[in-house]
Structure 1
Amino acid sequence: MKRRYISFMTQISLICVGIVLLPFIGIMAFFAVDMSQKIDEEYRTVLEKANIQIDTGISSIFSDVERLSYLHVVNDSLSEALRHKHEVYDRSFLDDNKVVTNIVRDAVLLNPNIYSVVIINNAGNAYDNSFNSYYWKNMYSDLPIWGELAKSLPGRRFINIQYRSSNEPEALMLVKPLEDIERGKTLGTIGITISFRSIRNVLNNAVQNHGNLVVYNEAGTPVYTYSSSDIQDKEAVINDIWKELQSDNTDQSSAVKDFTINRVSYIGGVQKLEQLGWTVVNYTNRSYIRNIYYQNIRMFMIITVLVIVFDLLIAFIFIRRLNISVHGLCQAMENSGEKGILESIHPERTEFKTEIDMLIHSYNNVIRRLKDSMERSLELQMNEQRMEFRMLQAQINPHFLYNTFNLISSIAGIQGVDSICKITGCISDMFRYSIQESLIVNLKDELREVNNYVTIQTIRFKDRLYADFDIEEETLETPVPIFLLQPLVENAIIHGLEPKEGIGYISVVAYMADDEVELIVKDNGVGISPVKMKELLKAMEKEQIEPISTEGHSSIGIKNVNQRIKAYYGDAYGIRLESRQNSGTSVVIRIPKNITKRI
């Protein structure tokens, strides 16, 4: 069966379309679903916070008001006055009325949400503090009836609402029986007139943009409604929302629910106010919530489509140009195959130069370089021999320097300059130590070189530097990488003790811990700040050495030691840093006593 021929340009075009369109469609689908879920979750969180705001705010207002119904419990004068029975309003009544009104007035002054307070005792005597009959004209006749009704209600309270002419709540009347705790009966009934203004502010502030709010009483009758200013037509779904709430068997006092009414989806926060017996629903049409999101998606899609069209146009131009070059390359190689292997390929000339032409040019260069490399092979071998000879000569120089330091030390000893004698002797030992071939030494050899370095620094700092070595004998034969401790001691002196004012102290400790050896280099220098310590620890985790300026230590030395420990003993081992500013730094190394791995 003959294969169907598909041109190079067609294949590349299909690939470009697939690469551009398929990921775009997948990303847009995922982005749309994910963003829709996130918007719902974020708005649910907003409604939950609004529920808490409503419950906390109204409960606070109502609790402050309800405290007045317990005044007779904490004030014996008030309870005693309410127990009196007055057949006529004589002087004794006036005295009791003065006691009651003064006590109530003082309490009302502390609460700006209270308009007035009326108390009627069991004898029918009424006491009030400037009661405004504008709200309840039949107060004195209705209050005892409301008091009896309150005894049978949850919380032993009755709430009545006064509306304005615009059918908007203006005030609440809280009616409660006054319990006589001492005698186990009631003293009478108290009626407290509460301003609805503060309650309205709490409710309105909880409504979001494009939101609505409705407050139901226990019978399901709306007592207050509110819509945000950006809602033109208020949604007529109040009765349907109450039916939805009644059909829900859950008994949660606060929740966020989804409503579907007349095929329109709503999301709302439901908060039950136990003290008032109200249910507050703060709901929003879901289309309003997602409207901005959909606008952003549409704009993003339009921009993306324009970018894709532009990209495909550019790709088409590029593919067409590339196709001409590929065709020319195929023709040139076919001609070359018929004539045999040639030194170079000369494709047919095109109207402009392309990447394929560059590829042909590179191929011809490769052939030429292969010939050149064969000619240079002998020369490279001769260069290697000359390099080996120079390396042998270079080994003489370190020994010459070592002998020179010994000569200086001998002359200084003869001349009686002990400090120079001691310094050059230490430098000579350190130099001989550094040029040895072995990369692994015993701990005692490393400690000897650390001691030489400390000796030089002690002479330099005179009486400002003291060092202490606390080494267990069992650790001395432990094999360690060369220059394991010397860089840490150098960092401690230069970066920890040199900037410090006063006497500097450094200690080197080595002891056995189970089957491992623990090495500690500790100083009382300036320490490392938390910020620099974080940078230093981060730098130690990297593979490449990067010098970082710190207040306490140089990260290049510490990192070098840390990497060599891990290379020799494994990733389980390394350096642990402990430092406090102005208190010093400790560098702790733990290594195994018995070596099972070689570099």
Structure 2
Amino acid sequence: MGLWEREAYLLRVKQKFSGMKAKFIIIMVSMVVSFTIALALLWGSIYTDQLMDNAIDYANEMTELTNNNVDSYLKKARLLAYILQNNKTITKILAKSSYNGHNEMYNDISEMGQILRMGMTGAEYLENIVVVSENGMYFTGGGSSVKIAGDKLEHYKNMTDGEEISFSIDPAADKYDYSKLILIKKLKLSEQSPRAWTIMTVNCKGLYKKYNTAAGYSSAMLIADPESGEIVYDKDMENLGLSSSSELGDLSKYGTDNSYKIGRINHVKTVVICNISEVTGWRNYIFIPYREIADSYDNLLSVQFFIIAAVVVLTIILSLSLAKHFLKNMSTLITGIEQVDADHLTLECTIDSGDEVELLYHKFEQMIERINQQMEAIKKNERDKRKLGLKALQAQINPHFLYNSLNTIKIMGKMQEANPVADACDALICIMRTNMSKKTYHTFQEEIEYLNKYICMKEYQSASPIKFICKIEDGLENCYILKMLIQPLVENSLKHGGIMNDPRGYITVMIYSEGDKVQVVCEDNGIGLSEEESSELLSTMKDSAGIGLFNISQRILLHYGEEYGVSITGEKGIYTRITLRIPRLTEVGGEDD
């Protein structure tokens, strides 16, 4: 960066931070931030008193969650028992002690399985439902716990002498497993029927699903059955620095009723909240490290900092909006002036404020308009020069062609009296008419007719036939092309492609559309061009070294624009292909070249 650029940059920075907009923003931000800090301090003092209440509410919520989940499975067990007790088909099945054949057994298993599976529907953590009778009938819903060991089955049966549902806890198999809640209900069948039981197995993880997925603290949880002394469920003991819940020892020291205590567990200050379940009678212990509550205040400080930062940002945005409103006209004019450059000499804004800014706007607009007029005049002069240069190039067409053609006609007239003389005259008349025409464009149909007459004359000159094929897409015949734009390509193939010396040689012209463009392809199977020769030939079109191709390229650039042009491809000894890319024109003006 030079000295002048550096000084200009420093000047822009100074103007940006010492202008009216910057001063307005600083005042607004200072006022709002001061008020926000005062409000945050008041809020922090109120919030601190609620931290312990929040922890207790959290423990109560977990206890209520347990009660609701257990109660939902109790209702499901009662409903299933009611259905089984009042279904005559099920009653008959449970009264059986043996089967007469496999079909009867399979029908009973299917009937019972369907009802039990319906009972499991919608219960994610209900692992299985089993129905057994004292006659040895055993039916399962097909869950993950399919078979119950015989000794356990007898234990479950003996737990249900009355009509109420009995509870049992199966401990977890390993540290990756969860305890199982067993709900046993004795079915009330007729006096003549054998006794029957329904046994429902529930994964204890489902009873505390909310705690598993969205714990409010980095806490630990333990559920204990005071009657059996079994641990129903424990979770996240590592948050207390313990490897298992057995390291807690006697749980009664942490509370036996709805209360909370603060003590140390594994040298960590901990809040222990004990709640008694109204449904199961279990003790729900929530262990929250005291640092979690203290960290809540730190979190509050982080939230306050975030809020203050957000307020600052919003204040800056609001201040910018107000400053933009008050300084709108000046900012609009400055932005419009900054967007003006050599390629875009237009003031893209409008100001009608009626003040000095509008006067400045009109003066600058007049200056840009004068610059545009001068540049347009320069461009027009350049276009005129290019047109004159092209006319001069067209005047360089070899006059020997017309002379040789006339000489050929004269010789033919002397040697024979035949129609070819008339054909040659007709072809020459068509060629001369096209050459002398002042039209810039003619249709593809007229261009093709011109090419056929040109080939006709070349055949008479060489006294040998020329294989020439011209194909055009339907619908393009009446579209327009620059006059004599294809003929130089055909002439180039005849002169330099070696077609005249090869009886198998041919020239093909294909005309087809691609969207709103037209592709004109001239191809011959003469000596061909290598990739290097094609590139070299394209480079000659940048100057007047090759009059034919240079003429074509310049005419396309002048009349159609830079997105259109000429491309050359080929393969040595196989083919040469020259492609013109031009727009599809269905009508043209009447200007001359």
Q: TM-score range by the shorter chain?
A: 0.3 to 0.5
TM-score, length of structure 1 as denominator length: 0.36
**Structure ranking higher on relative contact order (CA contacts 8 Å, 6+ apart):** 2
TM-score, length of structure 2 as denominator length: 0.37
